[in-house]
Amino acid sequence: MKASFVAVVVAAYAHAAWAHPWKGNKSFKINDTNVTLLNTFWATSPGLNMKAPVNVTTYSTDCKDVEFQADRRWDNCTEERITCIWFPNGTVGRGSNCRKVTRYGSADYGQVNAFRGGSGSVDRKFDNVTGTNVSTTLFPSHITVEHIEGFPTYVETIVIDEVGVRSFNRDMSRTYQTKLPITARFLQMRGNRIASISGVAFSENLQVMDFGGNEITSIGTILAPNLMTLSFISNKIASLAGAVFPSTLRSLLLQNNEITTLANVDWPPNLQILFLWNTNITAFYANESQFLLLSNVSTTCEGLSDDGSGDNGDHDYCERLLSHNATNATCKGHVRIEWLHGKYPICIIPDDKRPLNKVTIICAVTIAAGVLVVGVALLAHWRKVQRRHKWYNDSGAYCEDQTATVVTNDIRTDKLISSYRIPPDRIDRGVEIGRGGYGVVYVATIKYGGKATRQVAMKRLLPERTHNPTDVETFMDEIRTCSSIFHPNIVEFVGVTWTTLSNVSLLTEFMAAG
């Protein structure tokens, strides 16, 4: 019976003295007889179907017509498994290799598509008879890959370790060019520089994701609908506030992070394994329903292999849910203490309420005292809103019938982009800030509810261009391109909105300086 991914990951970290295990073994050296593959790393492209230039070093499956140097020692990938590394100067290098076993010889994870930097770039082997070092350097350890444009498919496991990755395209659920579903069940991206994966769409086939040793500070929204195991070991996470997990998640690994308080966490309903050891949690809050869910978390890992079959045997690791029992040391406003598994004190708070303190009470009294004034103000505002001319009524639907039958790339029928649709009545359009070509741009405000708002740039077709199918299709392509780019140096895609085809609008980050 194969061991679960949880057992494998925990074992890899357990004896690392809380350092990144992939940063160890610095003394390992390859002797003079070692044969490397580095001289075959660089590939060539004849220029027939050149990829558009990239701004940062990019891992991609857009490798059409790239010619790789042949080497019998290299485990070639084929078809949709092929990847390459594009550099801003136009050069291109070989990407991942493909094997039927992991670097440790295990065949439990199917075909492995891997690109590794740092210490992982060396395929370490010794002759069984002579003891001679016959290790091979598979990947150049100095290469930094900042952006992942797309994952390969038709593999079970994808590994991209220690190469400095910072960002992804927004949609990582399909291949970049051919739009085929990513079939991998395991994704490992340890030791990179990723700060966030929130809002990135991952494949519905992924069951395990390991982002250990990155620079993630908050979890946000995890879009991997069938995920079972999620590892954020050795990151910089300080809080789980606002975290949204897939309902299918069973194992959550958070040890060696910077968490000190846990309050009002929306734990996944099927959670069975939770690791929080080597975190300095001194205020662990839970309401009745959350405590009941946490009580179902295993302390033995018994029967919790990834495929739901059998005991993985690593009981010692699973027993360390937390590394101390001072989890109520700084609690405030709780109603009582309950002991989780008889070991860890949890501060119980009323359902759907946050821990109360003096500031909260003062705010509540102030709000109550001013409720009449606020009510009058809201009534006046509501009447004003009712009189306001809505932006989506200013152009009618006269173009709808003229274009709907000829637009072949209508985003309104695209399930992925439709998931980013913001209701039109949640948007207040402001002044025009620019126009040109086929479009016009306004400053706008998204109202999320309560006082939560966001200022955005709102682009739509000029009224006189909405009847032109070519302009409409070009605008649809622009929206698709924006929705697929996720990079800190590029204006952020926020969403889309519409009531008819003629007023489809693109919403992006508002840059006050233009």
Burial of 35 (0-12, 13-18, 19+ CB in 10 A): exposed
Q: Give the span between the Cα atoms of 410 and 403, in whole angstroms.
A: 10
Alpha helices in 182-314 (DSSP H): 288-295
Instruction: Enumerate residues 6+ apart whose C-beta is below 8 A from 175.
Output: 61, 80, 150, 151, 152, 153, 182
Measure CA of the first residue to CA of the last residue in the chain; give whole Å.
Answer: 59
Q: Where is the binding site, in residues?
A: 459
Long-range contacts of 411-415 (CB under 8 A, 24+ apart): 411/476, 411/479, 411/480, 411/496, 411/504, 412/498, 412/501, 412/504, 414/480
Question: Tokens representing 511?
Answer: 């840059």
Pairing of strands 92-94, 84-86: antiparallel
CA-atom Rg of the chain in angstroms: 27
Instruction: Enumerate residues 6+ apart whose C-beta is below 8 A from 178.
Output: 80
CA distances from 65 to 51, 74, 318, 381, 457 (A): 10, 19, 49, 61, 39
Q: Give the span between the Cα atoms of 157 and 103, in whole angstroms.
A: 12
Phi-psi region of 496 (alpha: psi -120 to 50; beta: other; left: phi over 0): beta
Going 349 to 354 to 355 to 360, the CA torsion angle's sign is negative
Instruction: Enumerate residues 6+ apart whose C-beta is below 8 A from 282.
Output: 260, 261, 326, 327, 328, 329, 330
Q: Give the span between the Cα atoms of 513 and 101, in whole angstroms.
A: 52
If we measure between CA atoms, which residue out of 230, 264, 42 comes closest to residue 143? 42
Q: Where is the binding site for ATP, in residues?
A: 459
Q: Give 229's strand partners.
A: 208, 251
Going 289 to 295 to 301 to 303, the CA torsion angle's sign is negative
Length of the chain in residues, anyone?
514
Q: Give 148's strand partners.
A: 59, 168
Q: Give the span between the Cα atoms of 73 and 94, in whole angstroms.
A: 14
